[in-house]
Every structure is written in structure tokens, then in C-alpha cells.
A and B are shown apart, each in its own frame.
Chain A
Amino acid sequence: MSTLLELRNVTKTFGGGLFQQSEKVALRDFSFAIDSEKPLITAVVGESGSGKTTMAQMMLGLETPTSGEVLYKGQDLRHCSRREKRSFRRDLQAILQDPFGVYNSFYKVDHVLTTPITKFGLAKSRDEAQHLIEQALLAVGLRPEDTLGRYPHQLSGGQRQRTMVARTLLLRPKVIVADEPVSMIDASLRVTVLDNLLQLKREFGISLVYITHDLATAYQISDHIIVLYRGDVVEAGNPEQVVKHPEHPYTKLLIGSIPLPDPERRWGDDLIDGNGGNVEHLILESAERAGSLRP
């Protein structure tokens, strides 16, 4: 077993400079590893301020940790040669939240697909490039003739996001870091994008780090869930265990807060104890006592 990417005891703080009184810890003592042989989908679940995006940025080499190490094939990212960095940038690909912001609205969508081909020299000829692009689009269930030659605003959010998945597919990365890939997409189109991501693992052996605030989709697609709260891992385990038998009060609160699509079941009933009292405050209090929730 070989480790492709590892975050080892990574901490990231912001602020605390000359003019700021206190520094803010975005992520604390976080460890995580991705195996290069065994593709897995890991969901990192958290709300705003949990540190999930900071984690993604460090995983992608866009932020450097304040302490701890980010290791690519066992070597600290800061000491990688240009060549290794280049291979790192190909092995790790990102899919971000906003499926519109990544496009330049003056260019046709073809642009985001041809750029990686030129940058990484993936094709020898124009025809080969065209062929690769069409294959990638077909693989995510888009018809090349309906997608190519169009401008970003002419596609739906779902189509734009699937085009991004196709782009990453061109590069055959080992890992995709997807930061809230479906939160800006209509519910009826979300499934198609999530299916694409699942398919990447199944057919192409690509590992996925799925960053989301939505525990329900995390439960549906992931092999492993990590719950972050204010920079700390408060719970980690397989989805059944995390969702059905959460141990940490914050996870319980998170699960109880999801509105149930069932008018017969009252929202937050899971948070009510046997005597009819609301345990929400108890949960927060006990969590604070345990030291994992700060006021």
C-alpha cells in the first residue's frame, strides 16, 4: 500500500499578526491520507467556519499549513521539485462550488476543455484533442454536440458542473477534491452530478474528497465521513456508523437539524429526550464541557 497524499498533523491559523489581537485557528491537528491503490470517497462534512475549505486548499497545495506537513508521495510539498509539482497538479484536481465562476463568459465552454490538453500535452493533433474531449463529455453523460461551441450561460448549472467533471477526467487524476460541487445546483440535477462523481471512482479508480455541508448526500455517496466543527474533527467513521449512531453531540445536532421530507415526523424529534425536554441545549452544553465546542 502506498500513500499518494497525506496531511500529517496539519494546523492552519489565520491572523495573529502585528495588528490583530488573536489568531484564528481554521483547522487543528488534522491528519488524513489517500491511498493510491484503493479509490475511496471520503466526505468531509461541516458548516461555515468548520475549516473544510481550508482543508481543501491545503490538500490542493493552495495554502501552506502553519504547522504539520502535506506530503505528496511521501515528500513534503514544500520541498518538491518542479517536476514533482507538475505531476502533483495533474494527480489532484479540484471541482468547486460555483459552476459559473470557473468559466470565462467570453469564451465558449470548449476553452476549459482544450486548456488542460495544451498545458499537459495530452494530444498530438487537433483531431486527437477533439476525440479526447468528446470521450470525456460522453463519459459524464453529456452530448458533445449539445455542449461544445456554446457559451457558459447557455448551459444549465448541472451541465456546467458536469463539463467540469469531464475536464478533470481528461487529466485522469488520482484524486478529485470537490468543494461543495452540488450546492448551487437545483435538486433535480444534483443526482446526475453526484452519479458522475461516483462513476469516476468506479470506472476510473479516482479517489474523491467530497466536501459538503449536506450530511444527507455525504451519507448516500461516501465510504467514509469526517465531521468537522470549528477546525476540529469531532467524528469520523463509516456512513452508517456516523449517521445512525453518532457519538458526538455536534453530529447529533447536525443530523437532528436536517428537515425531514415527511410531514408526519416532527423536525428535531431526535433532539427531544424521553421527558419531552429539548436536549439541544444540553447537547451544546455538554459539547462545550467536553471542550470541543467553543462558545
Chain B
Amino acid sequence: MRPILEVSDLEVHYPTPRGPLVAVNGVSFALQPGERLGLIGESGSGKSTIALAIMRLIKPPGEIIGGRIHLDGVDLLALSEEAMRQRRLAEVALVTQGAMNSLNPVARIRRQIRDGMRAHGLKLSKSAFDDRLAELFHLVDLRPEVAELYPHELSGGMKQRVCIATAISLRPKLIIADEPTSALDVVVQRRIMQTLDRVQGELQSAVVLIGHDMGLMAQFADRVAVMRAGVIVELKGVKELFANPSHPYTRLLMDSLPSLDQREPSPATAGVTTTAPPLGNGAPPASPVPVENAR
């Protein structure tokens, strides 16, 4: 099968007074249709730069120095600016961490989604658009009334759902989700990821999930690429990666995840009693606060 996305020897530089900063240093990977790739790394590893390079949204003076990016066989780096603009959203969509800030504060949600579709060549009649909107909202678990609201009337999770709905409005072949949930609470994060999971299953788009949370990768990705200082240090199937991390940096990332299964008997915590009364004047409540008081 022909890969939907093929990135080879990608190199991105940001010039600085002290010579170029190499943000991405010869990165290659490929994605099959419908596949989910996790791209994990810490700040400055180059993971977001890869997302921007695929979208061809690297801001000057940053520059793609070398390499190729093929989306469904088309060389993205060879396209004219207009041809690339048309492909954004229609074929490759980006959902970012601050997606909530990318909504227009003075336009109703309905108009924002319609504008996106129109700008990328899909002009629907009012009733056809309404049908499509209902379908999209159903997919991302939003109530239909949300279409008539303004962004400030939505919670963070709802805004992120709107952004996902916008991203999938033209059924792109590839969705790049760059830290889509890092600004959200854990409970909301799980629900958003479930939505992304369902949407991906429905559309069969390929997804690149960019993040820093190993737990999220374990729960979502088919394969995981670990990035550090502009290079991929390890790339393999998610089960294989967790069972058998071969690069020391991958192991470091895994070891730094605090476990909920076991309190590690680290020298610091060993020998600490947990029975002393920190709450109130008397003994700590043995059971949680009674529900009447907890109202």
C-alpha cells in the first residue's frame, strides 16, 4: 500500500545570530492510510516544527532546508503557495494545543465552520450545510445548539471539539493533532481523546498525534516515534516500544512517569509515616468527608 504521508530527510533551520538552530535534523518516517503515529518529545525536540513543516506553515526566518514531504503521492514542498493553501484543511488538517485561541471571538461557531469549508472550495446550500453540521457535531459529541454560540460561551473542552469538527469538516486524509489536550483537565482530556478515536475510526484518516505524555501515546498510537534534539531516536510499534524500549532516552521518558500502581520506595519517601494528622485539629477523617458536609 502506498503511504499517505512520507517524510524523508526533513531538515528545518531557524537562523540565529550565532548560526542556524537545527530544529529538525534529517527526519524520515511514513504513515499508512488510517494509521496513528505518535510523535513524542520534550520542549525543543522539534516535534511541533515537523507539524508546521508538513502544513508548510514554518514562519520565516525559519526555513525547510532539505528533504521531501509527500502527501498521498504529491510533493508538498514543490506546490505553489495557492495550491498548498487549498490542500490545507481539505487534505491535511492541524489541531493545535491552543486551538481554542484560533477561534474567531466575534463569529458564531456555525459561521466559522462554514467559512472554513467555503475557503477550501466546498460551497453547500443552507440545508446541505445544516445536514453536514449536524453530522459533524454528532461525531464530536457537541449539542446542535452550540452552532449558534460564540467561542467565549464554550468551555475549553467544547472549543477543542469545535476545532476537531472544523478539522474534519472536509474529511482530510491526514489529521495532525499537536498536543490537542495539554491545556485541558484530565477528565476532559480522556473524553476528547475518545472523540478523536471515534472520529478517526469513522473517517479512516491517518493521524499524527504530537505530545509529551507517554501515557497518552500508549492509549492512542499504533506506532510511536521518540524525538530528541531534532532527530527520531526510536520508532516502533507501541507495544514493542513499551515492552522493549531500546534507546536510553526512551527509557528515561518512561522512568520519569509517576506510577499510580505503586509508590516507589525512593529513599526520599521511605520511612515516612502517613498517619500523622494534617487535617484540622484532631485526627484525620478515616474516611472521606461525609457527603453532607462535602456539598
Taking Cβ atoms with an 8 Å cutoff, the residues of A that contact B are 3, 6, 28-29, 31-35, 38, 40, 42, 47-48, 157, 186-188, 190-191, 195, 198-199, 202, 213-217, 219-221, 223-224, 226, 232-240, 243, 247-248, 251, 253-264, 266-268, 290-292
Identify the stretch in B7-15, B56-64, B162-170, B183-191 within 8 Å (CB) of chain A at 4 or more residues: B183-191
Which residues in A have their C-beta under 8 angstroms from that of B187? 47, 253-254, 257
Identify A261's interface contact among B242, B274, B292, B293, CB under 8 A: B242
When the two chains form their complex, are residues A243 and B278 in contact, meaning their CB atoms are under 8 A apart? no
Which residues in A have their C-beta under 8 angstroms from that of B218? 259-263
17 A-B pairs with C-beta separation under 8 A: A33-B278, A35-B276, A38-B276, A42-B278, A187-B253, A216-B259, A219-B258, A223-B272, A224-B278, A226-B279, A234-B288, A236-B285, A239-B263, A259-B189, A261-B257, A263-B242, A292-B295
Which residues in B have their C-beta under 8 angstroms from that of A31? 279-280
Is B239 close to A, CB under 8 A?
Answer: yes
Interchain nearest-CB distance for B166 vs A (Å): 24
A198 CA to B267 CA in the complex, in Å?
10
When the two chains form their complex, are residues A220 and B284 in contact, meaning their CB atoms are under 8 A apart? no
Is B1 close to A, CB under 8 A?
Answer: no
Interchain nearest-CB distance for A260 vs B (Å): 6
* Chain B 259-289 near chain A by CB (<8 Å), digits 1 or 0: 1100110101100111111111100111111
Interchain nearest-CB distance for A80 vs B (Å): 20
When the two chains form their complex, are residues A220 and B288 in contact, meaning their CB atoms are under 8 A apart? no
Q: Is the interface of A mostly helix, strand, loop or mixed?
A: mixed
A28 CA to B294 CA in the complex, in Å?
9
When the two chains form their complex, are residues A236 and B279 in contact, meaning their CB atoms are under 8 A apart? yes
Identify the stretch in B101-109, B140-148, B207-215 within 8 Å (CB) of chain A at 4 or more residues: B207-215
When the two chains form their complex, are residues A239 and B274 in contact, meaning their CB atoms are under 8 A apart? yes
In this complex, which of B185, B193, B238 has the most chain A Cβ atoms within 10 angstroms of its Cβ?
Answer: B185
Which residues in A have their C-beta under 8 angstroms from that of B259? 216, 220
Is B83 close to A, CB under 8 A?
Answer: no
When the two chains form their complex, are residues B289 and A238 in contact, meaning their CB atoms are under 8 A apart? no
Which residues in A have their C-beta under 8 angstroms from that of B258? 214, 216-217, 219-220
In this complex, which of A33, A34, A48, A263 has the most chain B Cβ atoms within 10 angstroms of its Cβ?
Answer: A263
When the two chains form their complex, are residues A291 and B291 in contact, meaning their CB atoms are under 8 A apart? yes
Which residues in B have their C-beta under 8 angstroms from that of A239? 263, 274
Q: Is the interface of B mostly helix, strand, loop or mixed?
A: loop
Identify A258's interface contact among B186, B238, B285, CB under 8 A: B186
When the two chains form their complex, are residues B260 and A215 in contact, meaning their CB atoms are under 8 A apart? yes
Which residues in B have their C-beta under 8 angstroms from that of A235? 288-289
A191: nearest chain-B partner, CB-CB: B256
Which residues in B have their C-beta under 8 angstroms from that of A215? 186, 260
Which residues in B have their C-beta under 8 angstroms from that of A214? 258
When the two chains form their complex, are residues A248 and B260 in contact, meaning their CB atoms are under 8 A apart? no
In this complex, which of B214, B258, B272 has the most chain A Cβ atoms within 10 angstroms of its Cβ?
Answer: B258
Q: Contact size class for B? A: 35 or more
When the two chains form their complex, are residues A3 and B281 in contact, meaning their CB atoms are under 8 A apart? yes
A215 CA to B215 CA in the complex, in Å?
14
Which residues in B have their C-beta under 8 angstroms from that of A266? 219
A260 CA to B257 CA in the complex, in Å?
10
A-B contact count (CB 8 A): 163
B222: nearest chain-A partner, CB-CB: A263
Identify B279's interface contact among A191, A224, A292, CB under 8 A: A224
A199 CA to B258 CA in the complex, in Å?
18
Interchain nearest-CB distance for B268 vs A (Å): 4
Which residues in A have their C-beta under 8 angstroms from that of B289? 233-236
Which residues in B have their C-beta under 8 angstroms from that of A292? 291, 294-295
When the two chains form their complex, are residues B256 and A261 in contact, meaning their CB atoms are under 8 A apart? no
Interchain nearest-CB distance for A7 vs B (Å): 10
Interchain nearest-CB distance for A105 vs B (Å): 18
Which residues in B have their C-beta under 8 angstroms from that of A258? 186, 215, 260
User: With contacts A34-B278, A223-B274, A262-B218 known, what are 8 further pairs, Cβ within 8 A?
Assistant: A32-B279, A35-B276, A35-B277, A38-B276, A215-B186, A236-B289, A240-B274, A261-B257
Which residues in B have their C-beta under 8 angstroms from that of A260? 215, 218-219, 260
When the two chains form their complex, are residues A186 and B278 in contact, meaning their CB atoms are under 8 A apart? no
Interchain nearest-CB distance for A33 vs B (Å): 6
Which residues in A have their C-beta under 8 angstroms from that of B16? none
Interchain nearest-CB distance for A234 vs B (Å): 5
A235: nearest chain-B partner, CB-CB: B288
A262: nearest chain-B partner, CB-CB: B218
When the two chains form their complex, are residues B43 and A157 in contact, meaning their CB atoms are under 8 A apart? yes
Interchain nearest-CB distance for B8 vs A (Å): 27
Identify B275's interface contact among A42, A219, A238, A243, CB under 8 A: A238
A264 CA to B293 CA in the complex, in Å?
40
Which residues in B have their C-beta under 8 angstroms from that of A221? 268-269
Lowest 9 A-B CB distances belong to which pairs? A259-B215, A198-B268, A47-B185, A186-B42, A238-B274, A216-B258, A235-B288, A257-B190, A267-B219
A198 CA to B273 CA in the complex, in Å?
14
Which residues in A have their C-beta under 8 angstroms from that of B275? 238
Is B30 close to A, CB under 8 A?
Answer: no
A256: nearest chain-B partner, CB-CB: B190
When the two chains form their complex, are residues B268 and A202 in contact, meaning their CB atoms are under 8 A apart? yes
In this complex, which of A187, A216, A232 has the most chain B Cβ atoms within 10 angstroms of its Cβ?
Answer: A187
Interchain nearest-CB distance for A209 vs B (Å): 9
Which residues in B have their C-beta under 8 angstroms from that of A253? 187
A215: nearest chain-B partner, CB-CB: B260
Is B254 close to A, CB under 8 A?
Answer: yes
